[in-house]
A and B are shown apart, each in its own frame.
Chain A
Amino acid sequence: MKKHKILVVDDEENIRLLYKLDLEDEGYEVEVAESGEEALEKLKTFDADLITLDIKMPGMGGIDTLHEIKTRFADRKIPVILCTAFEEFKQDFSTWASEAYITKSHDLTELKETIKSLLKE
């Protein structure tokens, strides 16, 4: 079976490492990017099936990156999961363009469940 490809976008090195380790344990192929700009660059070559996107990042923020992804790669219809330490971004309507929204935690169960259900669709 072909491994699903996930792009993890986060400015925090440790989070990137954590997601990579954990998601690879789950059997995914994981690529990381430390900024929105890098993510958009990587997407040109990396055929991601799903993207996890941190909202608060220096430079191009998560929301802007989300819009860029949705417009530039609209035809690829890549599901995006917004990850943040802030619950309240749920209230921001612009985040609703993403497919899912989860709050960051050491416990990645919710993230993994969401990834599973999104990749099934």
Chain B
Amino acid sequence: MFETKLAEFIENFHIAGGLQNKLNVLSNFFLIMGMEEAFFVSTSELCGKRVFSILNADEAALVPLTDTLIARFDDTQQFSKETVLGKEFTVFTIKDEEKKYGKLFFYPYFEDKEAFYRIIREVTVCGIKGCELKEQFLNKTKQLEIFRKLSGKVSSYYNLSDMLKMLTEGVTEALCAKGTVIRLVDKDSGLLKVMAEYGLHDVHIRRHGIKKGDGVSGEVWETGKSKLVLPDTAESISLLRSKLNVSSLICVPLTFENEIIGTLSVYERVGERTFTEDDKNFLEVLGSLLAPIIAYTATIDREKELLAKLEKHLKNLTLITEINKILMEPRKLDSLLYMVLTTLTFGEEIGFNRAVLFMYNAKTGTLQGMMGVGCETVEEAYQVWQRLPKDLPAIKWIERLRELEAANDTTFNQKVKSLRFFLDEVPSFATAYRTSKVYVEKNTEDVLARIFGVSEYAIIPLAGREEILGMLYVDNKFTNKQISDDYIKLLETFASQVSIAIENAKLFNELKETNDMLKAAKQELLIKEKLAVVGEMLTTLAHEVRNPLAAMGGFAKIINRRSEDKTVKDLSQKILSQAERVNKMFNDFLYLTKTNTYKTSTCDILQVINNSINNLSFLFTEKIKLTVDVSPNIPCIPIDESVLGVVLDNLIKNAVQAMPEGGSLVIKAFQNGEAVHIIVEDEGQGISKEVLPHIFDPFYTTKFNGVGVGLSVSYKIIKQHNGNIYAENREEGKGARFVIKLPCVCDKEEEQSLKGGVS
């Protein structure tokens, strides 16, 4: 009877599918055998640590004891006794050569049924093992299915982020997990960054990049070994504490060509059991399969990115060329500067949020804010950008922006104009000045960062031919876009063009000024010319009128003098005074015109001597040896150059004519006290004693051809200029010497004012 039941049990046990069904069969059999209470504590991978009630067991009371019951797993004996909840249970271990599956507890124990217990144990072991194998088989099948599914899908993606997104979803589903995260190593920042995630909306995962060795992912990245965190372990508790809000996870490295390119993390298994080593193994395999695909796609992605970047650069270059054309046109400096700043804030690529120009004053060593393009607040920026059309060609765009800004001088521009720094005051300026290169200031709180409310900005020095012209400042206050190396190269190219353009504009301005000046001068000349014409007319008129006027007045005076008649005397006096009045009027007019025609002047003696020599070059034959000795720094003297020239012409002419046989002619000039001496020496016959006293008399000449006024004219000229001129025979050797002494202007200021009077 019992044997029949046993056989029936064994058969049913084998037939039953799944652990729970098998345990039900066992439950029935225990009941038949007269058991009162029985339960099974599982440690198998299939179920994890768990208590299964078989017969009348109080599961709720037993669950908290799970760990204790397992810990007391004494598998040395076939049977053992253990007191659980006040009852002495008989326990036997379910295990085979490979592993343990759990413990079977039952009560009471019947001594005579020991053989059956052994059979039950064998059967149970076989059953559970079978279950497990089947489960494992199913699992493997499922995993293979997942591999197939994922790999099929993966090949249809070309975009990395889409592919990773799909993978996180697929892995989450495959492992019955709460969610999945794929992190990849970002080569630029050197951090492990989240690239894709799924199902983790309420989980606090670190999205801002993880350092090597930091947290679970960081540890996996560092060691290259997979990690399994199970619930109720110390690590799990720390996970819960770290706000991650999950109690279990698996994290495997993604390795490609011996390099860890990222990690794959799966969080919290949903359902009865938790993660197992098997799940970990599965993920490892999956990771190793996915890593090359991810790496490959990432490369393609990067190439695409590079291509896009190249395209953008090309666009920029086109833009810069366009802008360069505009810059090179001659235009006003301020108009040009505006163009420059607008260009810096233009377009997607260069497109800085704000640009400011500081002009450098080399004398004071200061940088003065000149112009700012951009906005002070986000709202303002938004408004401006909203009002701008999006698809205009570059030039139209700049013009449009200009209209907008011209309409209201922005607060930003006003703020910029009030800024003024010493070069040394701002380190970033000083660095850019020293290196003449674009300088990017990051994570700074310096004076510029404070004023403009940013933590990152770039300074572009504008180098002129000789000196730094100024500095351009750019930032991305509103978009917070980083200033990368690519921009810096672009900015450097741009800066050199801007520098040239600014120099051009400066030259243009100078040219314009000169042109204006010339125009004004021309106008003045025209007026003077007119005045001269008027003066000429007046002079002619004066000559015509003065003679009869003089006669009228003169006769009136004679009448007045000769007449005895009082009335005749009075009336002739009246004629005289009227004539005087007209005369005075003419004198005044003539004086007016004269001030414009006659000028006092100072003269450069060396210049005058050279002029005279040139004028008289026809006189100098080979026989005449000419020596000119003018001491340097000789002061200018207050005499008109043409007037002094007449004197020198006369003296030189005389000297040459005194030496028909040839000889040495020496012209010397030097300062002696407050006078300038000009000496002309010849080697002629000298001056005879009879002639010497009369040498300056008019029309006195020893020459046969000539009226002899030359020396007397020279005499009068020199006398009129408060100078002195005399002639003497040279003591040494033969010949005559003429000496001119003219007072010089020793007072520099007076000299200046005299010079000033010329113009």
Contact = CB atoms under 8 A, between A and B. Distances in A.
Interface of A: 12, 14-15, 17-19, 21-22, 25, 56, 67, 70-71, 74, 85-88, 91, 93-94, 96-97, 104-108
Given A67-B707, A86-B539, A94-B709, A108 B554 contact: yes
B548 A14 contact: yes
Given A74-B699, A87-B590, A104-B546, A93 B551 contact: no
B660 to A, nearest CB: 24
A21 B553 CA distance: 13
B500 interface: no
Contacts of A104: 546-547, 550
B549 A106 contact: yes
B468 interface: no
B716 A96 contact: yes
* Interface SS of A by simple majority: helix
A104 B557 CA distance: 15
B556 A106 contact: yes
Given A85-B547, A96-B713, A97-B698, A106 B558 contact: no
B716 A71 contact: no
Interface of B: 539, 542-543, 546-558, 561, 576, 579-580, 583, 590, 594, 598, 646, 698-699, 707, 709, 712-713, 716-717
Given A93-B713, A96-B698, A105-B583, A25 B558 contact: yes
B561 A25 contact: yes
Given A56-B543, A93-B716, A21 B558 contact: yes
B558 A96 contact: no
A18 B561 CA distance: 13
Contacts of A74: 699
A107 to B, nearest CB: 7
Given A70-B698, A105-B583, A96 B551 contact: no
A100 to B, nearest CB: 12
Given A96-B698, A97-B709, A107 B558 contact: no
B1 to A, nearest CB: 167
Contact of B543 (A70, A86, A96): A86
B555 A70 contact: no
Contacts of B542: 85-86
B547 A14 contact: yes
Contacts of B576: 106
Contacts of A14: 547-548, 551-552, 555
A70 B752 CA distance: 43
Contacts of B713: 93-94, 96-97
Contacts of A85: 542-543, 546-547, 550
A17 B553 CA distance: 12
A22 B707 CA distance: 34
B585 to A, nearest CB: 14
12 contacts: A15-B554, A18-B554, A21-B554, A71-B707, A85-B546, A85-B547, A85-B550, A87-B590, A93-B713, A96-B712, A97-B698, A106-B552
A118 to B, nearest CB: 14
Lowest 3 A-B CB distances belong to which pairs? A106-B553, A14-B551, A18-B554
A106 B584 CA distance: 12
Contact of B712 (A22, A91, A97, A106): A97
A19 B555 CA distance: 9
Contacts of A96: 698, 709, 712-713, 716
